[in-house]
Each structure stands twice: as C-alpha cells, then as structure tokens.
Structure 1
Amino acid sequence: MARPIEFDYNKKLNIARELFWEKGYSRTSMNDLEERLQLNRSSIYRSFGNKQELFIKCLQSYISFKEDEYSLAASKGKSPLNSVIAIINDIEQNIILDTKTCLSIYTTFELGRLDVDVYKVLQKQSEKTVGLFETLVEQAQKIGEIPKDKSPQDLAYYIVSCLAAIWHADILFKNSAITKKVSKMIIDSITK
C-alpha cells in the first residue's frame, strides 16, 4: 500500500487561495488546482473537498486574516472614532499598495448572488464587521466624537458598504489621489 504524500496543509491552502484570487472561482479549473498545488485530484478531494469546499476554506482563511488586520488597525486608535479612521486608512493603504482586489469583495460580485454557501460565509463576515463598527460608533457617540442623531447600526452598515466603494474607485480610476478622497469623504460623512 502506498504511503500518502505529506504536505503543509496551510501552505497548500494559501497557494489555492492565490490561484482563486488571481483567476476567480469560475475561471479556476480542477486542472489549474492540480497544477498549482502539485497534488493529484484525489489528494485534493481527500484533503480539501471539492472545488467549492476548497474555495470556501480559502475564503474563510482570508476573512480570518482580514479580521485580524481590522482588529490591529482598530487597536492603533486612541479613541473609538480614531479606531474607525485607522481601519479605513489601513484599508485605503492596502488598496493603494496592493494590486489585488479584496478577495471578499471580489467574491461578493462574482458569487454573492449565485452560491448560497459562499453567500453565507460573506454575510457572516460582513455582519461581524458591521458589529465591530457599530460598537466603535456607539462608543464614539458616548464621548461626542460622532453626532448622536445617527443610528450606530445604520452608520456601521454604511461604513462597511463604503469600503467596497473605495475598492471600486481604485479599480476604475487607478488614481491614488481619488482613492484617498473617497476615503476622506467616508470619514467626513460619519462625523458630521
């Protein structure tokens, strides 16, 4: 009996994530995955499941990484509003420095309406991000950094929706000055 080939699961998962990110879910074939991962199809199925299951694992690992980035950015703020601004500025800098669109946003537009399982992962992540911003907005309102006439939940949904707008502006206009202006307008709109 042949001994199974051992490999670093997380390393292969990251390689698959990069491939999906590069080509998109729909344009990535099982042949592409076999070639890039240097694993045969049966090893991929045994270790990661089918293409959709592998993609969801890749998406979840990416989301976990982004949540850690948001938490780190928020911890840099000296106040709740400052934390909101730090997250938005961190995202803005990532957009300007990285040529790839956020995998969650990319996936939202590619699969958000087509794949129920992917939608559930994206929705859960979005609701968690909304919760983070809602908490920060509530704290900022308590100390007068954000006007109290705005619903913290509505503002949180607005901020999360606007994060996609920053990516959108960068993709369409390829101008960091415009990307920065969009970020600033988002920040200005929540503080006035």
Structure 2
Amino acid sequence: MARSKEFEENEVLDKAMKLFWEQGYEKTSMSDLVEHMGIHRRSIYDTFTDKRTLFFKAMERFGNRTDAKLAAGVKQAKTAKEAIHFIFDYMSSTEEGEPPGCMFVNSAVEMACRDEDVDAKAVGAFEKVEHLLVEIITWGQENGEFSSQYGAQELAEYLHNALIGIRVMARTSVPKEKLERISTMSMLLLEK
C-alpha cells in the first residue's frame, strides 16, 4: 500500500524555487534540497523525478508567480506610465524572505549558453515581459502619454534590456537609489 504524501507539493516547491533562485542549479545539491524542502530524498524523487525536473518545475512556478504579479499590478494601473513604473519597481525590489534578482536571469547567466532547455525557458520568459511592455507602450502611445518617435517593439526591447540589467544589479550591493535612477532614466526615453 502506497504511503500518502505528508507535505503540500506547492509549499515544498516554493522552498526549492527559492533555493535554486538564490544559489543556482549547479551549486544546489540534493542534500541542500532535502534540508531546505524539509522532506526526504525519496519523496523528492517520487514527486519530482530528479533534480533537473524539480529545477524546471521551480522555474515554471517562478514564472507563473511573476506573471500573475505583473498582470495584477498592470491591471491596477490607471495610466501606461503608471504601469511601466510598476514593472520597474517590481523588478528592482526584493520581497521579504526572497532572494534578490530574477530566477530566469540568474539561470540564463548560469546555464543558457550550454543548456538548450534553460535557454528556451529564459527566452520564453523574456519574450512574455517584452510582449507586456509592447502592450503598455502601445497603450501609452495611443493615449498620448508616450512618444511615437520609436516603435513599441523597439522601445520594449530597450526597456527589457534595462530591466534585465536592474535584476542582475539587484543581486549585488548596489544601492536601491541607483536602481531607481536607472529606472527613471530608462523611462525618459518614452516621454514626448
């Protein structure tokens, strides 16, 4: 007779996600995962198959969570400028109890050049953010908030590049004020 799980899968997946996010894939050992997830090694294998599968499930969880937070923040924005500000603020801040930066950016830097699957996940996540930026910039151009000197796609690519830089810098000891200045300067490109 099979034993029932004595843990909530999403709860332990969140713990694995934070560990991979903070340490990266290669530095995170199965022993680290057992300790941080608070479950037995056998339970990890039974539930998630192996470390690599667990890592990809953690990336997916991170992506779904980030997508939901971005969508909610943008939905509450009354203007396109407010929506862009929200995205920059969200990307440059660290919620309590969470590692700084972005799991996709960290994973891309660590592994994308030698792992096609990590590359595909990171590129897919980046494309989602760029698509969201295109929608917001188009909204701002149509209602006269933003300049139409450049196309929405080109502006989104530029802003996304700034956001990736901010997410990398957020992992360092760079002061938050510097990240805010970079955000402000990046947004000036949108103005008329």
Task: Find out whether 1:118 has 2:118 as its counterpart.
Answer: yes
Match of residue 134 from structure 2: 134
Higher helix proportion, which one? 1
5+ residue gaps, structure 1? none
Question: What CA RMSD, in Å, does the superposition of the two structures yield over aligned residues?
Answer: 2.3
- TM-score normalised per structure 1: 0.88
Give the Cα separation in 2 of the matches to 1:101 and 1:149. Answer: 31
Task: For residue 95 of structure 1, report the CA deviation from its aligned partner.
Answer: 7.8
1:65 is matched with 65
Question: Identity across aligned pairs (percent)?
Answer: 27
Q: Is the 8 A contact 2:13 2:58 kept in 1?
A: yes
CA separation in 2, counterparts of 1:86 and 1:122? 22
- One-letter code aligned to 1:92: S
CA deviation string 1:13-34 (max 9, x = no partner): 0111122123211011122222
8 Å contact kept, 2:101–2:170 = no
Deviation per CA, 1:23-65: give whole Å up to 9, x if none.
2110111222223333333321221121111001011101111
Unpaired runs of 5+ in structure 2?
none
Within 5 Å, which residues of 2 pair with 1:19-168? 19-94=19-94, 100-168=100-168
- Deviations 1:116-148 (CA, angstroms, capped at 9, x unpaired): 112211111111111111111111111222221
CA contact (8 A) 1:84 1:136 kept: yes
TM-score, normalised to structure 2, is 0.88
How many residue pairs align between the two structures?
192
Question: 1:96: how far off?
Answer: 10
The one of the two structures with greater contact order (alpha-carbon pairs below 8 A, sep at least 6) is 2
